[in-house]
Amino acid sequence: MQAELAYAYAKAMGITRNIFIGRRIYELKKINSLVDLERLLFPGHYTRQLPNESFLVELESRITKRSAKNILSVVNSFSKPPQVLVQQLRSREYPENIKDASEDILYYKLLLKNLDTLPSDDRINIGKIIAEEISLRNCVIALRMRVFYNKTPDEIMAYLINLKMTIDNKDHDLSEDARKILYVSLNSFSDFNAWRWKKLINHDYDGRSWKIDPRHFQNMASYYIYRMTYRYFRQKPLSVCSVFCFIKLNQFEQDILTSFAEGFWLGMTSREVFNLLEVSNDSAP
């Protein structure tokens, strides 16, 4: 197993140097069209003869296949991949939609179940990433449903991922952070003062009216998980955790590239896409 982990990590490091995360993401500032994006990602393989909408669909499909190829090249380093990695790959089978909370719960339950088969360090480290991800996903659901759908607290509770985990000998209710913001005023920055995730909400600027921005929070939550994942990837080499993080980093890149493709198709510039995603220099490790 150790030899397989060493081989997997070496391949993962080589791939990670060439994907568009960290500081490499800023190479996307140099392009402003779908054709430019295709040339950057797939030099020598152009599909410019396709109509624009078909071009977008084709390019997004190739981005997805590119990510899958990177991931599988590392996962296939194992004669028998750890089941937690197999289950992690299934995350892309579930639609990113708040209506599919039951699907999310099933996915995470199976993921947590497979943690029990791992060595202690891997179980703890991967568990911490999953716990933060679930907590933040619940908070995103709560904010989006309050702001965009005007749902009541009782209605929102039915959509939360109600799971509990034991981390560092402490029990954690992963819906607790979301439940704490079900009744606070959405127009009062100070009402979030005691909230654990206050650092991820949009700032309160003096002299301006303020309202919580779910889109901003979702972007910041995504980068928080990205930074945590990247840190564990570098600090936990030769571990199942490092491969778990490698998979998440590639999925993160896929989301970024898809966002740029869709932005260009809508006529946005790279600067406008960067602003929409709120990508900043502090997001690069």
* Span 85-104, pLDDT tens digits: 999 987 765 444 444 568 78
Write out the DSSP string of 19-30.
SS-GGGGGGGGG
- What's the DSSP call for residue 118? S
Task: Return the pLDDT at 272.
Answer: 94
- Residues 226, 254: Cα–Cα separation, whole Å: 13
Q: How far apart are CA 67 and CA 74, in angstroms?
A: 11
pLDDT surpasses 60 at 116? yes
Residue 249 is predicted with a pLDDT of 97
Pick from 29-38, 116-125, 201-210: least confident: 201-210
Among 26-30, 52-56, 198-202, the minimum mean pLDDT is found in: 52-56
Query: DSSP string spanning 225-239?
Result: HHHHHHHHHHHS-SS
pLDDT at 54: 85
In the prediction, which pLDDT does 282 show? 46
Q: What is the pLDDT of residues 197-232, one digit of tens each?
A: 999 999 877 657 899 999 999 999 999 999 999 999
* Mean model confidence pLDDT for the chain: 90
Stretch (H or E) spanning 220: helix 214-235
Provide the pLDDT for residue 128.
Answer: 95
| The pLDDT value given to residue 251 | 94
Give Cβ neighbours of residue 158 (< 8 Å, ≥ 6 apart).
101
pLDDT of residue 63: 96
Query: What is the reported pTM?
Result: 0.90
- Please tell me the predicted confidence (pLDDT) of residue 92: 62
